[in-house]
Amino acid sequence: MRETERESTTLVAESTPSLNLIFDLLSNRCRRYVLYYLYDQPDGVATIEDVADHVVVLEMQETGADTEVSADERSHDVRVELQHVHLPKLEDAGIIELDRRSETVRYWTQPSLEEWLEHAKHKELS
């Protein structure tokens, strides 16, 4: 049912990433959190700020809230890390399209990635 709902609103990437690339992308917790969030968006589009906020929420749930660093400070740090490390890596892999002008990210449907992403999400966040 999920695939049927997404077919009409989501564009599929032109090439299928290799299994090595998929595991490399999913090997980093921050990138997994980004992909979980984008995959759950009805149109696969979100602002970088929304993605960063989501990553911070999941990190705080995973590690427990750090009283020394506020959520706003952590969100800023995550946003910088996303813009300079993780989003460019996902874009280079053809998984997302990053629009720096509008500060939005568009996820390109990747069935081979989603198979592993759903499994990782289930194991990590359940």
Give 95 or 60, the one with higher predicted confidence. Answer: 95
Confidence (pLDDT) at 7: 45
CA distance 22 to 13: 14
pTM for the predicted model, two decimal places:
0.85
* Segment 54-94, tens digit of pLDDT: 999 999 888 776 556 777 888 899 999 999 999 999 999 99
Q: Which residues contact 4 (CB under 8 A, 6 or more apart)?
A: none
pLDDT confidence of residue 14: 60
Which position has the higher pLDDT, 94 or 11? 94
Task: Report the candidate in 100, 122, 119 with the shortest Cα–Cα distance to residue 22.
Answer: 119
pLDDT band at 6 (very low <50, low <70, confident <90, very high): very low
pLDDT at 1 over 50: no
Domains identified in the chain and CATH numbers? 21-125 (1.10.10.10)
What is the overall mean pLDDT for the chain?
87
Residue 9 pLDDT: 43
Q: Are 10 and 109 in contact (CB under 8 A)?
A: yes
